[in-house]
Structure 1
Amino acid sequence: MSEYQYYEFQALDKPLSEKDREVLRAISSRAQITSTSLVNEYNYGNFKGDPLKLVEKYFDAFLYITNWGTHQFMLKIPRKLIDLDLASQYCIGDSWTIYEKGDYLIFDFTSETEDYDWEEGEGSLSPLISLRSDLIRGDYRCLYLAWLFCAQMGEIDDDEEEPPVPANLGNLNASLESFADFMRLDKDLIQVAAENSIAEQKSVQNDQKLKLWISGLPNSEKDTIIFRLINDNDPHIGNELLQRFRNTLSIKDTQNNGKASRTVMKLLQKTEAYTKEKDRQIAEQKAKEKARKEKEAAIAREKYLTGLVGRENEIWKKVDTLILAKKPKAYDEAIRLLIDLKDLAKKNNTTSLFKSKLMAIREDHSRKASFINRIDSANLLLG
């Protein structure tokens, strides 16, 4: 089997210049390069560039997928838009890293597995892109999920307590679902972790606090902000202000709940118990469904057999006709009718008569090996 590697880079805030594209072309002559992206697939050989350095200089998002089980995903975000102290609380373990690069932070997530199927990377980055906007808006759920994956992989000490649990962890959007799948995160572990996450709606109280904060800004600063909105091409002015506002909120304002943090061991143990109980309930439901279908089938079979009562001789004659046809489909139909006759005999306490007639048929057609094999396979003489 040949190797497969998929690389995709995306520039979101600023398009690539012509000079940028020339530099990238020198790195890879076969890559698909546009003003906002670089995509390359390899079945043999390797990409010559350093993805981290390329993200640092040119791009805002990166995805890497191989056919030997490696998933890697990077996001670059302006440092001023992220609460680094809070984000760092989630960055424990080997499967993800925060790189500080000048005015930017690069979040690097990796998932490795030995239990993999062949997969291709095209279309895998798009569902993850909006995580960047979520982080910029202060939604750190993907960082908690990354921490949770490190716990799942045994990269964090058992007695280590979890970082702050973000709101709405039990209601993941499409990008977060894609991220969980990409990282191969146990869905039951997410479910258990979400028990300490509140379902938070947009806060009217915080809206009022935001309005008061804005009204308290000096007029000279407001003038500067308006000038930047009109004159600059910075797409993050609003988010920068929102980050400044969030930094003014007290710890009480930003806490999600009063529940105690759980240790890694407690989360994993509770997940194991949750999975066992879920599997038990599923097995119980399947058993009930199976019993229901079997009961319905038995009722239908009984009704069908009742309709055959008194037609036994007619059915025996039809069996003879089908056998004489010497065709596989006719043999199969004859066996189905013989099964009906067997069940009718059991219903009417005439099993001995059925067996004697069947033995006669078997003797008369003993040279029809295909038909005799069908009789034996159907166990018509048993029971």
Structure 2
Amino acid sequence: MSEYQYYKFERLDGYLDAKARQSLRTVSSRAEISATSFQVYYTYSDLKAEPAELMLTYFDIGFYYADWGTIDAYIKLPAGTLPDALLGFSRDGFHVHESEEWQLLIFSLEEYYEYFDDENANDFFQYLAGLRSELIQGNWRLVYFMWLKALDCNDELEEIPLIQFDFEHLSEELQAFSALYDISLAWVKALAMVLNEQPRHQAKQAQFQYDVWLHNLTEAEKNTLLSTLFEQGQLTRHQALAMTRKESANKDETYQYWLTPDVISSYFEQAQSQLQQEQAAAIAKKMAIEKAEKEKMLTDLYNQRERCWQQAQEQADRTCASGYDAASRDLHQLNEAYQFKGDRPAFEQSFKCFIVANSSRKALLNRLKDLL
């Protein structure tokens, strides 16, 4: 087995200056480095730095995978974004590295054995910015996902605050995360049921009050923000808030209502049954839509049958493999359309005429054997 490893990191708030890019070049001489990103793959060597340290120093989101099944996703948040009470259940698949400025969340899979390549990695990477934005704005569902994943194999999991988030309508980013990290949708539905029936805290996702924030800034903080803006050319809201935060936003939060394995487990069977019913209904609806679309297509084809016979002959007259393939495809679809309309004898009559007209084209006839 080769030892393929892929790293991709991106800075969302601000830019990497020349000094930062030079430092990153010492980490990897072959990486693609820009003012906002770092990307590299290895086959028989490795990165000359710890990804967590690179994230804390330079980047806001990151992703790593190796062909032996390891996957890590990184999201960096301003310090105090998540309350300590929400981070106490750290397990093999979820770790938090904290510094004075940041909280770095690492979501890990140790044994992912489905097919995965750079294209899959890039497809998933595009969701990390949205997941980070949700967390910063006070929507912490991603952390609850990891708690539910840990619950699958540990019924003595530590409790976490029971906070009212919407687990019935998941964003595209959360759906992508749940698919990759194999989050049980039955547990997600069970959590939604708990929140509908049990006492819980309301989520604090207050609108940002720009005037209040600006009024409370000191002259030194304003000067720092202006200097950073001129140096980087831009300054995002998240970056400005992180630079001027005076204390952890959720440090002193107290909670009265808690989510425990015992509480949610009592809802699991009901949630699983309801989920199966919803999935069956969704499949039935999808099949009904596909059937209606197929019937419409066959009806349209039957109504234009004379033109389709002519088109099939035009393709056959090209006397090449692609023309014969196209003619065969047209005739098979026509056969299905005639059958759908209960007019099989009419198809057989027209088909015999087509065969007679193309009797010398053995390659075409071979493609039509199953219609003869």
CA contact (8 A) 1:71 1:182 kept: no
Read off the aligned partner of 1:51 and give its amino acid letter.
P
Other structure's SS at 2:49 match: coil
Q: Distance in 2 between matches of 1:19 and 1:229?
A: 20
Q: Distance in 1 between matches of 2:160 and 2:95?
A: 17
Q: Distance in 2 between matches of 1:187 and 1:46?
A: 36
Which residue of 2 is the match for residue 119 of structure 1?
117
- 1:138 deviates by 2.4
- 1:228 deviates by 5.2
Q: Distance in 2 between matches of 1:330 and 1:96?
A: 57
Residue 43 (structure 1) aligned with residue 43 (structure 2): yes
Residue 76 (structure 1) aligned with residue 80 (structure 2): no
Structure showing greater relative contact order (alpha-carbon pairs closer than 8 Å, 6 or more residues apart): 2
Read off the aligned partner of 2:191 and give its amino acid letter.
A
Alignment of 1:95-110 (within 5 A): 95-110=93-108
Which residue of 2 is the match for residue 168 of structure 1?
166
Structure 1 residues 186 and 224: alpha-carbon distance in aligned structure 2, compared to 1, 3 A threshold: same
Alignment of 1:1-383 (within 5 A): 2-79=2-79, 81-89=80-88, 91-120=89-118, 121-152=121-152, 154=153, 156-158=154-156, 160-197=158-195, 214=212, 229-233=225-229, 235=236, 236-238=239-241, 261-264=258-261, 267=264, 270-279=267-276
Q: What's the CA shift string for 1:311-339, capped at 9, x where partnerless?
A: xxxx9xx9xxx9xx9x98998667xxxxx
Structure 1 residues 21 and 240: alpha-carbon distance in aligned structure 2, compared to 1, 3 A threshold: closer
Structure 1 residues 94 and 165: alpha-carbon distance in aligned structure 2, compared to 1, 3 A threshold: farther
Structure 1: 5+ residue stretches without partners: 309-314, 335-383
Give the count of matched residue pairs.
Answer: 300
Structure 1 residues 286 and 125: alpha-carbon distance in aligned structure 2, compared to 1, 3 A threshold: closer
Structure 1 residues 195 and 228: alpha-carbon distance in aligned structure 2, compared to 1, 3 A threshold: farther
CA contact (8 A) 1:77 1:105 kept: yes
- 1:178 deviates by 2.9
Other structure's SS at 1:98 match: strand
CA contact (8 A) 2:148 2:184 kept: no
CA contact (8 A) 2:8 2:63 kept: yes
Rg (Cα) greater in structure? 1
Other structure's SS at 1:57 match: helix
- 1:147 deviates by 1.7
Q: What's the CA shift string for 1:143-200, capped at 9, x where partnerless?
A: 2222222223x1x434744432342232332333333233221233222222344798
CA contact (8 A) 1:111 1:184 kept: no
Decide which moves more: 280-289 or 12-21. Answer: 280-289
Q: What's the CA shift string for 1:218-276, capped at 9, x where partnerless?
A: x785666655554554743446778979669986xxx8xx9x64532553564455334
Read off the aligned partner of 2:133 and give its amino acid letter.
S
Q: TM-score, normalised by structure 2?
A: 0.61
CA contact (8 A) 2:194 2:264 kept: no
CA contact (8 A) 1:144 1:166 kept: no
Q: What's the CA shift string for 1:83-102, capped at 9, x where partnerless?
A: 4424424x432211111234
Other structure's SS at 1:40 match: strand
- 1:62 deviates by 1.8
- 1:130 deviates by 3.0
Which residue of 1 is the match for residue 330 of structure 2?
none
Q: Distance in 2 between matches of 1:62 and 1:275?
A: 33
- 1:50 deviates by 1.5
Q: What's the CA shift string for 1:73-130, capped at 9, x where partnerless?
A: 1222332x424424424x4322111112343222111123354223322343221123
Structure 2: 5+ residue stretches without partners: 230-234, 296-337, 360-364
CA contact (8 A) 2:165 2:203 kept: no
Read off the aligned partner of 1:194 and give its amino acid letter.
A
CA contact (8 A) 2:9 2:55 kept: yes
- 1:277 deviates by 4.7
- 1:29 deviates by 1.8
Percent identity over the alignment is 25
Q: Distance in 2 between matches of 1:286 and 1:137?
A: 34
Q: What's the CA shift string for 1:6-65, capped at 9, x where partnerless?
A: 101122334223233233222222111112221012234333321122223222222102
CA contact (8 A) 1:138 1:243 kept: no
